[in-house]
């Protein structure tokens, strides 16, 4: 569908003091945890008998997620008599999305969005999630006259500003991220620039960047290049590696692993310098990892300074920032990526997501099961995980180790 670039979304403000007061109460009821707060106050450690649980210094909801959830709840309250739609998921956490569905907010799956929003009317409300949405989708929503509650995080919008700037200056955006991720799709659409003539390439792995660097240095098989990236929808339409790798600007999805993003930036910078006899005129870079992602990765590195027997990372399996916490953990100790406390099936069995096999599987933990010996368990969670899920996990660990809820509350000073 081709639409006028001048169409502007009909944004509505739902943040009135009365509404927000009610929303705060509901959000706290759904996601807050007095236990987690108490454990944090006592140094983020809870030790009862032979079981010790350590929490990371930073984990759970970030400012962007809190804002997005507040606005979604407020939209529901303000437009109680209207249809309220959400583009995909508000954030990548099944528990939060389930709550929104229960409140009557209708999620439009990502694959149907253009067709679905084209049928909406000016009486409908559309919530844009924290990741933002693609420009073409926003134009369709505007053309339908829908009311828009935009929860796009400010840190995501900073990336958009950067890639728009690259396009304006004639630079191709190379985006470190996952091409199918909502945020990267939204960012890629902005990398086309205001006139739509810009270009982008999305790279995910170090193997991708090496492939691109080789092409920058000595050219290569154009068809193989296009096959690799267009098959994954990872480059703009009409992308030509012989033309569009001349001037490149690097950005990244806000939730990537910092060390990997830095390495990708370094390799691209070196490739351009090698090709251009040391000149950096055709290279720009801007680190767009957000503060919340950074804090959670740093918090985990701190947690790993002390001995742990195993690490539990709690969150949605499709959450990018959570996945990177799992990757950090796996390099250091046995790490289990769990959705909720229900994944702790028993002392022996943990149902968890295997990042490498990309599926849930059951693993066996002898260390946890041996209740006669001391065990120390670390817990962290990504920016989309509510504290009530951490509380459930804490309680479940102690329950499996023979400690009652009452004893846990008492030890936490509640
Ligand atoms: S993870 Fe970062 S970019 Fe995403 S909502 Fe939170 S603060 Fe914003």
Kindly report the CATH number assigned to the domain that includes residue 131: 3.40.50.11270
- Alpha carbon of 383 to ligand 1 centroid (Å): 7
Q: Indicate which atom in ligand 1 lies nearest the CA of residue 290.
A: 2
Answer yes or no: do 165 and 285 share one domain.
yes
- Alpha carbon of 257 to ligand 1 centroid (Å): 14
Asked if 27 and 69 touch (Cβ cutoff 8 Å), the reply is yes
pLDDT at res. 7: 63
Answer yes or no: do 172 and 148 share one domain.
no
Is residue 10 situated within a structural domain?
no
pLDDT at res. 5: 45
Degrees (nearest 5) of the Cα angle 48, 50, 52? 60
Of the listed 183, 277, 327, 391, which one is catalytic?
183
Range of the domain at 118: 64-152
Is residue 324 situated within a structural domain?
yes
Is 293 a pocket residue for ligand 1 (Cβ < 6 Å)?
yes
Cα–Cα distances in angstroms (integers) from residue 104 to residues 101, 209, 222, 237, 312, in the given order: 5, 43, 49, 37, 32
CATH code, domain carrying 232? 3.40.1010.20
Give the E-state strand segments of 18-81 in sequence order: 45-48, 51-55
Is residue 359 situated within a structural domain?
yes
Q: Indicate which atom in ligand 1 lies nearest the CA of residue 63.
A: 7
Q: Which of 70, 290, 320 to mutate to test the pocket of ligand 1 (most atoms within 8 A of CB)?
A: 290
Is residue 167 situated within a structural domain?
yes
Q: Which candidate, 128, 132, 138, places its Cα nearest to that of 158?
A: 132
Is 308 a pocket residue for ligand 1 (Cβ < 6 Å)?
no
Answer yes or no: do 168 and 187 share one domain.
yes
Neighbours of 217 (CB within 10 A): 13
Is residue 78 situated within a structural domain?
yes
> What string of pLDDT tens digits covers the 414 residues of the chain?
444 444 688 999 999 999 999 999 999 999 999 999 999 999 999 999 999 999 999 999 999 999 999 999 999 999 999 999 999 999 999 999 999 999 999 999 998 899 999 999 999 999 999 999 999 999 999 999 999 999 999 999 999 999 999 999 999 999 999 999 999 999 999 999 999 999 999 999 999 999 999 999 999 999 999 999 998 899 999 999 999 999 999 999 999 999 999 999 999 999 999 999 999 999 999 988 999 999 999 999 999 999 999 999 999 999 999 999 999 999 999 999 999 999 998 878 999 999 999 999 999 877 777 777 899 999 999 999 999 999 999 999 999 999 999 999 999 998
Q: Indicate which atom in ligand 1 lies nearest the CA of residue 154.
A: 8
- Alpha carbon of 52 to ligand 1 centroid (Å): 30
pLDDT at res. 266: 98
Of the candidates 289, 320, 348, which is a domain's last residue?
289
Answer yes or no: do 224 and 316 share one domain.
no
Asked if 90 and 151 touch (Cβ cutoff 8 Å), the reply is yes
Is 138 a pocket residue for ligand 1 (Cβ < 6 Å)?
no
Q: Which two tokens stand for residue 11?
A: 């944004």
Which H or E run contains 251? strand 248-252
Answer yes or no: do 343 and 392 share one domain.
yes
**Which residue lies with its CA nearest to atom 6 of ligand 1?**
64
Answer yes or no: do 58 and 168 share one domain.
no
Annotated catalytic residue 58: no
Of the candidates 152, 179, 196, which is a domain's last residue?
152
Answer yes or no: do 314 and 278 share one domain.
no
Answer yes or no: do 205 and 283 share one domain.
yes
pLDDT at res. 4: 45
Answer yes or no: do 281 and 159 share one domain.
yes
What's the domain count of the chain? 3
Cα–Cα distances in angstroms (integers) from residue 68 to residues 130, 131, 138, 212, 270, in the given order: 6, 10, 17, 36, 39
Q: How far apart are CA 340 and CA 326, in angstroms?
A: 15
Q: Quick one: DSSP state of residue 130?
A: T
Beta bridge partners of 250: 174, 285
Asked if 264 and 206 touch (Cβ cutoff 8 Å), the reply is yes
């Amino acid at each position: 569908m081709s639409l006028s670039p001048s169409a502007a979304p009909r944004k509505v403000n739902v943040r009135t003091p009365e509404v927000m007061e009610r929303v705060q109460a509901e959000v706290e009821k759904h996601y807050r945890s007095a236990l987690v707060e108490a454990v944090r106050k006592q140094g983020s450690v809870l030790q009862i008998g032979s079981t010790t649980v350590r929490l990371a210094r930073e984990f759970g909801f970030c400012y962007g997620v809190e804002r997005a959830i507040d606005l979604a709840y407020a939209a529901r309250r303000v437009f109680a008599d209207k249809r309220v739609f959400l583009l995909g998921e508000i954030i990548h956490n099944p528990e939060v999305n389930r709550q929104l569905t229960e409140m009557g907010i209708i999620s439009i799956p990502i694959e149907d969005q253009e067709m679905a929003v084209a049928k909406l009317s000016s009486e409908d409300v559309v919530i844009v999630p924290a990741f933002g949405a693609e420009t073409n989708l926003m134009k369709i929503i505007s053309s339908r006259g829908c009311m828009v509650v935009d929860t796009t995080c400010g840190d995501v919008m900073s990336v958009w500003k950067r890639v728009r700037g690259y396009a304006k200056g004639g630079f191709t955006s190379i985006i470190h991220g996952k091409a199918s991720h909502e945020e990267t799709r939204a960012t890629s659409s902005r990398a086309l620039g205001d006139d739509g003539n810009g270009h982008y390439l999305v790279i995910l792995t170090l193997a991708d960047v090496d492939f691109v660097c080789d092409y920058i240095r000595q050219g290569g098989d154009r068809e193989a290049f296009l096959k690799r990236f267009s098959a994954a929808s990872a480059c703009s339409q009409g992308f030509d590696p012989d033309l569009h790798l001349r001037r490149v600007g690097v950005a990244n999805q806000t939730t990537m692993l910092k060390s990997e993003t830095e390495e990708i930036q370094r390799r691209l910078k070196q490739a351009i310098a090698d090709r251009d006899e040391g000149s950096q005129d055709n290279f720009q870079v801007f680190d767009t990892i957000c503060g919340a992602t950074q804090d959670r990765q740093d918090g985990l590195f701190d947690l790993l300074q002390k001995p742990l027997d195993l690490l539990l990372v709690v969150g949605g399996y499709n959450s990018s920032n959570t996945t990177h916490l799992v990757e950090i953990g796996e390099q250091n100790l046995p790490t289990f990526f769990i959705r909720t406390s229900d994944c702790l099936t028993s002392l022996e069995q943990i149902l968890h997501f295997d990042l490498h096999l990309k599926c849930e599987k059951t693993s066996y933990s002898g260390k946890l099961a041996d209740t006669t010996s001391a065990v120390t368990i670390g817990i962290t969670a990504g920016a989309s995980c509510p504290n009530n899920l951490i509380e459930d996990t804490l309680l479940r660990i102690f329950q499996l180790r023979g400690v009652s809820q009452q004893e846990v509350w008492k030890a936490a000073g509640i």
